[in-house]
Structure 1
Amino acid sequence: MAAEAATKIIPASQAIETVAEQAFYIPMTGPAARPRRSLKHDDTFIVLDSHGDIGASAGGPDGLFNHDTRYLARLELVLDDLQPLLLGSNLRDDNSGLTVDLTNPDIYRQGRIVLQKDLLHIVRTIFLWRGTAYQRIGLQNHGEQCASFELTLLFDNDFADLFEVRGERRPRRGTGTSRLLGPSDVLFEYRGLDDAERTTGLHFDPRPTRLSVNAATWQLELDPHEAKSLFVAVSCNRPIAEKPARFFRGLLAHRREMRQSTNGAASIETSNNIFNEVLCQAMADLNMLMTETPQGRYPYAGIPWYSTTFGRDGLITALQMLWVDPRVAKGVLRRLAHFQAKAVDPLADAAPGKILHEMRGGEMAALREVPFSQYYGSVDSTALFVLLAGRYVERTGDEKTLVELWPAIEAGLAWIDGPGDPDQDGFVEYQRATEKGLANQGWKDSFDAIFHADGKLAEGNIALAEVQGYVYAAKQLAARCALRLGKPDVAKRLEAEAKTLAERFEEAFWCEELGTYALALDGKKRRCEVRTSNAGQVLFSGMIREDRARLVAADLMRPHFFSGWGIRTVARGEVRYNPMSYHDGSIWPHDNALIALGLAHYGLKHSVAHVFKGLFDAATYMDLRRLPELFCGFRREQRRGPTLYPVACAPQAWASATPFTLLEAALGIEFDVARCEIRLRNPQLPTFLNEVILRDLRLGESSVDLRVSRHGHDVALEVLRTRGQIQVSIVLAR
């Protein structure tokens, strides 16, 4: 490809049509020509292909993004106008950087080879730090002759909003310009329709031989075995006079910060080396997704589409990681309390007390072309907020934070009993406030996710099964918080409300013919009598009767639900079942993780082990041993891995947290702050784990190192080390 012929960028908004049935649909227009790799630091992330390029191959959401805007749409390396050959590319184990090894193709001039292939070793080292993408291009000549060649970086930008990259079309856009700032610097500028100015600065070191607003070219000569380095820094909204940090200084600082951020979390080592790799990748992904905010660290939901504050995702991720590192929950709770809705705003689907669903910082959100600047269209985030607050306090005994959060907890409970229950029938329901909002507002938010047995979509105010379970657990936990704060009357009222809700739920949602709970009630109080994983999540709340819990669990383990890799979102045989759908038959790791906690609550550890083993086996087939957001629900076949879902986010926070949740469910880990005791309730390890070692498992100011060993169906517990006053015990009863 000639350098001058490849500099034009086609905005994504011109390339992709939206899908009529569903707003904010994420289209898949074709296969990725090269695998993609992602890096993230705070509010900046980058998606590159396996060569380390941006925008050089089809099929990926490439770019450097900051606050939901693309700040670089193309960065492609060519040698004498030819693409180099890939040797390999690897992310560091801690996700701190990407290394790409390339070599030269045969280079011809005037019909004869002037540089034979495989003589140049080219190493691209890329990392993100403080709003800047850094890249070192290391070159070494392994030939016996001098190597003379041109290396060119082609670059361009469109300042596309993330929703444009996803496929939304815009009738108008702002204006952009590009200019040289000197022999080593290029500046892209964009004034949006929101009057905000956004800039991308590119700095090259050493200065290129030739520099234009779309290309930097170095004329290079390398003696035999000589090595040389080129450096590129791409900065988002950095003042023109401020130069980026030197490459190696920034790299060392970035890695030091990443190491420090994991201090204080429990660590896990097992007898299974592959599972250790799964855990290490999961922790590295969670650490990368963590973002420093004014309220504390927050796990952004996923890359590329959800790298921002999501209420539901952050709450569930923090819940999954509570036993490993409760500091995550504290940051999530404080941030969501800060952004709790204070007024009614139909476009944002906001009402006083409601907890945030999603917030965006791009141009389209600022102009309200999409409603997500601060969007509250989530029926479950408020109950999950109260639930997590209660669990956090019981895990840590942090009553100071409870006092800080109590007004937000009370406001959330008021929303649950008020606007969250518009017909005052005792169930929390949703219906979008405007046509611009999300049609479905539970975690299964596809337009076709909530339906009746005949396939007809549910209409009106919809009450989801799992949401009632969240509310039940939230009120029970809030009651215990109220007792801590010396509010016995409030505690008594909340306990009574939770009991009444459980009784009414059994009456309204149980489907005798199905042997499970309905997916939802529609606006006319008709049950959506469909077998779905939502009933499994009700187990997690502990709300349902013991006998029916066992019926639900048994159904989830049957082949129409359990594929061999995990539990499907919709059972095979239901009218809308589709194993390739987003929510109607696919497998979501986090969904399985919450179900596993529910199975453990009812003492069904054999079923926990079954789910654990399926998802572990799936992870062994995944790229980087990384569980994605979801994968297809096809039945497991011998000597074949699971089928991937094409636009699944990876990493995705609650998928990354899943291995830790499955381990929690298997071991039955409980914390009792008052007695300074950690309990393992009915612990059982799956067959692929003979031993698990937990180090620095903290409770208050104390901590402990434990070894749990499997002996058939039994386990043995060994305390390896204690710090402070702490007890550990095994409980072999519910």
Structure 2
Amino acid sequence: MDEIIQVRDQYYIQASSCLADDRTRVLKQGETFAVHDCRGDIQPVGRGEQGLYHQGTRFLSRLEFFVNRQRPLILSSTVNNRNELLAVDLTNPDLVLGDRQVPRGSLHLFRSKFLWNRCCFERLRLVNFAPDAVEIELCFRYAADFHDIFEVRGMRRRKHGRMESPKTGPDRVTLPYLGLDGCRRRALLQFAPRPDRLSAEEASFRLRLAPHEERSIYLTVVCLVDEEDFDLPAFDRGFDASLKRLEGYRGKNCGIETSKQHFDEWLNRSLDDLNMLLTETPQGIYPYAGVPWYSTAFGRDGLITALQTLWLNPDIARGVLAFLAANQADSHHPKQDAEPGKILHETRQGEMAALDEIPFGRYYGSVDSTPLFVLLAGAWLRRTGDLDFVRQIWPQVKKAVDWIDRYGDIDGDGLIEYHRQSADGLVQQGWKDSWDSVFHADGRLAEGPIALCEVQGYVYAARLAAAEMAEQLGEREMSDIQRNRAERLRELFLRAFWNDELGCYALALDGEKRPCLIPSSNAGQSLFTGIAAPEHAERLAERLLQPDFFSGWGIRTIAEGVARYNPMSYHNGSVWPHDNALIALGLARYGKTRQALKIFSALYDLAMQVDLQRLPELFCGFRRLPGQGPVLYPLACSPQAWAAGAVFMLLQACLGLDIDARRRTVCFRHPVLPDFLDQVTLRDLRLAGGRISLRLTRYHDDVGINILERSGKIGVTVIK
């Protein structure tokens, strides 16, 4: 099996076993993230992803806590509402201390953890509720393997760097590693108070607690890269800084309140997940794709997340556009699948990227990031009216359009195709980038160059966006050219992709221009971009909600029963929240808000079933059965940026919300609200230098809209 994985897809994420309780607790801040078990420990078990990571490297591979050499009993475990603090309540098991017994539940142990400035801070607070004094030993065991994230995912390396001799002091341990890239990485563990015993593997404390006495132990783990010295902040000061950062992000968003507490919990968890994944770059904030496997900047993920949240907070889109403009390819580099004007697929730090053992240090192997970049730039301008910023990135937008014309259309037929140049790059370069995700009706894999259904829509929308931006910037000739090319592409797409018997657009065209006649969610995304013909949209709206497509929890990536269908696969039968949100917004675009509601309601039900009301990256496509919850995909990232952003696009879809800064209007087209929402309040929606607050109320099959507050000249239009 390993040989199959290595030959067909070397970037497959391997899973060798499963935990009895595989609930993990995730924290992230900046370039640092941590994956703990529900006790707050880090263990080399289960899927093997637990650890403390910084810049693509695992700095801590083990951190286990014991009471008298036994694991404590768990009472509760959660990441708090703002996602900055892991809180775990523990108690002692039954203990025998000399000639006496300490019954379980005598000690309360509270672990609180957070990340700030490449440090993982922990406070362990103990309270003795026994009637007598208790003498106990507390122990932390730890280890560092300094594995690259791709090693953790299952890739094998021929050579590794060198673990250097640990250094211990009265209250600290340093675990150093010298990588093959010449970089020295160190995990520094600092304890307060000083442990009674301290070694390179273990720190132990002997404590005597009187009845109701409280004591605290602090542990800070610092991830150091080549630095010799580090100014370690105190626990409280670090926590205050972390909290201030998250509150700053929250203050930029339009406030959303509803009549349904459970829905608000989903909203708030999604918002806080996005805030946690936001990472400061020199160009602005960027939503890293997901933890643990994709905690880095991905072009496609960042662009779609920015589109999902554009109405809510345009600052995210600005940061994404600025970052991707600054990292646009400027030359032809086959090993990176780079061509002039192409937009980034992903960027990675870490030893394997530095040594080119993987091509992802800066990798451009996606066919859709470039048109999505142009599409988002146009959507940003419509949402904000900020022509000055568009003028700043206009050279990069024009280069992206030039890439579409010169490199995207490999064979000159007017469609956009992909074919990898790098031997180590991704075989499939659309959003479904599994090696087996593009195939014919008989199951045969499609040979490239491949023209994907949804990518033609992205390019169509990108050309229209470029035309609008060019017009506002006074470049009339470019505007006319792009509008004409968009229309020609649409005509070509409708002829080449629609299949009447299938009732939807083909998944793709292969290198011989033969259609892959697979009913797929890719066809649904054609509604999002507006490339679909109105008569096809009618058929699609019906087709996508039939039982073979719609599982009851959402629309599957491919319909049940076709070749290669597997509800447990990554892309061939699973359900992805972001995909469903794009389809829902597309349905609303064609006036199908009630069909969009069905998707919205299904994902709401899902959110009520999953841990922390956090939608995962994807889940299995099994049919929804009465009294049973969804079947989770074992290796899904959670949190994942575009899964967190799905709820905001779903809400936009059912409200038919469109914001036009030039006309200073907020428009609601065919607004509807699901049965579980009687009321939605939008507070401080920013537009053209002003703000507006609105309340939407459901009246049977109608929605009433009231303006609560308004500053500036902002109009509200409702189209029934």
Rounded to whole Å, the distance in 2 between the matches of 1:605 and 1:475 is 26
Rounded to whole Å, the distance in 1 between the matches of 2:3 and 2:216 is 39
Aligned partner (choices 447, 468, 472) of residue 484 of structure 1: 472
Farther off after superposition, 377-386 or 190-199: 190-199
Amino acid at match of 2:193: P
> Are 2:578 and 1:590 equivalent residues in the alignment?
yes
Q: Deviations over 1:441-471 (max 9, x none)?
A: 0000011100000000001200000000000
Amino acid at match of 1:253: A
1:114-153 aligned at under 5 Å gives the runs: 114-153=101-140
| Structure-2 residue corresponding to 1:719 | 707
- Please tell me the root mean square deviation across aligned C-alpha atoms, in Å: 1.4
1:257-656 aligned at under 5 Å gives the runs: 257-656=245-644
Cα offset, 1:57, TM superposition: 4.4
| Structure-2 residue corresponding to 1:10 | none
Aligned partner (choices 14, 32, 45) of residue 44 of structure 1: 32
Farther off after superposition, 508-517 or 532-541: 508-517
Cα offset, 1:599, TM superposition: 0.4
SS in 1 for 2:501: coil
Cα offset, 1:18, TM superposition: 5.0
Gap change, CA 1:29 and 1:150, over 3 Å in 2: same
Rounded to whole Å, the distance in 2 between the matches of 1:172 and 1:514 is 51
Aligned partner (choices 681, 693, 700) of residue 693 of structure 1: 681
Cα offset, 1:566, TM superposition: 0.6
Farther off after superposition, 665-674 or 486-495: 665-674
| Structure-1 residue corresponding to 2:149 | 162
Cα offset, 1:17, TM superposition: 9.8
Q: Indicate if the aligned counterparts of 2:549 and 2:558 stay in contact, CA closer than 8 A.
A: yes
SS in 2 for 1:342: coil
Q: Indicate if the aligned counterparts of 2:162 and 2:179 stay in contact, CA closer than 8 A.
A: yes
> Are 2:20 and 1:33 equivalent residues in the alignment?
yes
Amino acid at match of 1:409: V
Amino acid at match of 1:245: P
Q: Indicate if the aligned counterparts of 2:48 and 2:152 stay in contact, CA closer than 8 A.
A: no
Cα offset, 1:118, TM superposition: 1.4
Rounded to whole Å, the distance in 2 between the matches of 1:322 and 1:151 is 49
Rounded to whole Å, the distance in 1 between the matches of 2:9 and 2:330 is 29
Q: Indicate if the aligned counterparts of 2:168 and 2:198 stay in contact, CA closer than 8 A.
A: no
Q: Deviations over 1:502-532 (max 9, x none)?
A: 0011111111221211100001111001100
Q: Deviations over 1:575-609 (max 9, x none)?
A: 11111111111100000000011101110111111
Amino acid at match of 2:186: T
Q: Indicate if the aligned counterparts of 1:709 and 1:717 stay in contact, CA closer than 8 A.
A: yes
Farther off after superposition, 292-301 or 112-121: 112-121
Q: Which runs of 5+ in 1 are unaligned?
A: 1-14
Q: Indicate if the aligned counterparts of 2:670 and 2:719 stay in contact, CA closer than 8 A.
A: yes
Gap change, CA 1:568 and 1:270, over 3 Å in 2: same
Cα offset, 1:109, TM superposition: 4.9
Q: Deviations over 1:556-589 (max 9, x none)?
A: 0111111111111000121111111111111000
| Structure-2 residue corresponding to 1:4 | none
Rounded to whole Å, the distance in 1 between the matches of 2:252 and 2:352 is 39
Q: Deviations over 1:208-231 (max 9, x none)?
A: 111101111111111111111000
SS in 2 for 1:39: strand
Rounded to whole Å, the distance in 2 between the matches of 1:19 and 1:651 is 27
- Give the TM-score normalised by the residue count of structure 1: 0.96
Amino acid at match of 1:124: R
SS in 2 for 1:232: strand
| Structure-2 residue corresponding to 1:6 | none
Cα offset, 1:413, TM superposition: 0.6
Rounded to whole Å, the distance in 1 between the matches of 2:6 and 2:93 is 42
Farther off after superposition, 634-643 or 127-136: 634-643
Rounded to whole Å, the distance in 2 between the matches of 1:496 and 1:509 is 20
| Structure-2 residue corresponding to 1:174 | 161
Q: Indicate if the aligned counterparts of 1:140 and 1:227 stay in contact, CA closer than 8 A.
A: yes
Rounded to whole Å, the distance in 2 between the matches of 1:445 and 1:338 is 25
Gap change, CA 1:43 and 1:720, over 3 Å in 2: same
SS in 1 for 2:334: coil
SS in 2 for 1:237: strand
Q: Which runs of 5+ in 2 are unaligned?
A: none
Cα offset, 1:138, TM superposition: 0.5
Q: Indicate if the aligned counterparts of 1:17 and 1:167 stay in contact, CA closer than 8 A.
A: no
Cα offset, 1:235, TM superposition: 0.5
Q: Indicate if the aligned counterparts of 1:520 and 1:527 stay in contact, CA closer than 8 A.
A: yes
Q: Indicate if the aligned counterparts of 2:448 and 2:511 stay in contact, CA closer than 8 A.
A: yes
Amino acid at match of 2:88: V
Rounded to whole Å, the distance in 2 between the matches of 1:675 and 1:462 is 40
Rounded to whole Å, the distance in 2 between the matches of 1:467 and 1:487 is 26
Q: Indicate if the aligned counterparts of 1:56 and 1:76 stay in contact, CA closer than 8 A.
A: no
SS in 1 for 2:336: coil
Gap change, CA 1:452 and 1:30, over 3 Å in 2: same
Rounded to whole Å, the distance in 2 between the matches of 1:504 and 1:587 is 29
Q: Indicate if the aligned counterparts of 2:593 and 2:656 stay in contact, CA closer than 8 A.
A: no
Rounded to whole Å, the distance in 2 between the matches of 1:58 and 1:537 is 36
| Structure-2 residue corresponding to 1:74 | 62
Rounded to whole Å, the distance in 1 between the matches of 2:246 and 2:228 is 28
Cα offset, 1:181, TM superposition: 4.2
Taking only the aligned residue pairs, the percentage that are identical comes to: 49
SS in 2 for 1:251: helix
Q: Deviations over 1:247-299 (max 9, x none)?
A: 11111221122111221210111111111111010001000000011110000
Rounded to whole Å, the distance in 2 between the matches of 1:537 and 1:527 is 17
Q: Deviations over 1:679-699 (max 9, x none)?
A: 111111111111111111111
> Are 2:655 and 1:667 equivalent residues in the alignment?
yes
Aligned partner (choices 96, 102, 105) of residue 93 of structure 2: 105
SS in 1 for 2:515: coil
Rounded to whole Å, the distance in 2 between the matches of 1:496 and 1:648 is 41
Rounded to whole Å, the distance in 2 between the matches of 1:49 and 1:211 is 24
Q: Deviations over 1:28-71 (max 9, x none)?
A: 22222332100000110000001110116433411000111001
Rounded to whole Å, the distance in 2 between the matches of 1:441 and 1:727 is 42
- Give the TM-score normalised by the residue count of structure 2: 0.98
Q: Indicate if the aligned counterparts of 1:56 and 1:75 stay in contact, CA closer than 8 A.
A: no
Gap change, CA 1:730 and 1:95, over 3 Å in 2: same
| Structure-1 residue corresponding to 2:220 | 233
Amino acid at match of 2:415: F
| Structure-2 residue corresponding to 1:207 | 194
Q: Indicate if the aligned counterparts of 1:178 and 1:186 stay in contact, CA closer than 8 A.
A: no
Cα offset, 1:116, TM superposition: 2.7
1:82-93 aligned at under 5 Å gives the runs: 82-93=70-81
SS in 2 for 1:570: coil
Rounded to whole Å, the distance in 2 between the matches of 1:397 and 1:85 is 56
